[in-house]
Amino acid sequence: MRAGFRLLISALALGAAIFIVYRQLAPNPAVAALYAVTLPDQNGQPQALAQWRDKIVLVNFWATWCPPCREEMPELSEFQEKYRARNVIVLGIATDDVAKISEYSKTRPVQYPLLAGDFQAMTLAETLGNNKGALPYSVLIDPKKGITHIYFGRINIKQLEQDVREIAE
C-alpha cells in the first residue's frame, strides 16, 4: 500500500513538473496568432511579424483618422530610437489600407515599421485583448513571457519606459 501511494505521489509530482515546464515553454496563443500574420508595410512589401519574435515588441494599433493615435506617434518614434539598442521594436499596425498609411507616412514619418492591417487589424487587436474596440491600443510583448502589459488609449511614455526597463533588465 505504501509503495503504491509513493508511486502515485511521484507520478503526480512528475505530471505537475511537466505541466509547469510546458506552460513556460508553450507560446501564448494570442502571441502565436500575431506572429503567424504577414502584413504589408507602407510600401506594400509583405512583412512577416515573426521576424520580430525575439525582440521586446510594442504592438500599437492605430488609424490615420484617429487624433490620439497621430498625437502619440512622435513620442513612439522617440521611444523607438531610445530603446532600439535594448532589442525593442515598435510596430504600428493600422486599421487602414496600404495607400492610406503610405500617404500618411509621407507627411509624418516615424522611426518604426508601419503595417497595413486593414480589417484584419481590429480582429488581431481583439485577439490580443482589445475587448473595447479602442484606438489607439497597444500591447507590450516580452519574447520569453508573452504579453506583459496592455494599454488602452493614448500611451503614457513614462509608464511604457518603466515597463520596458522591467523586461529588458
Give the Cα separation of 87 and 113 in Å (integer).
Answer: 15
- 34, 39, 69, 110: which one is catalytic? 69
Place of cell 496592455: 150
Q: Which helix (H) or strand (E) holds 149?
A: strand 146-152
Dmax over CA atoms of the chain, in Å, equals 78
Residue 20 annotated as catalytic: no
- 56, 59, 66, 140: which one is catalytic? 66
CA-nearest of 103, 51, 58, 107 to 80 is 58
Residue 69 annotated as catalytic: yes
Catalytic site positions? 66, 69
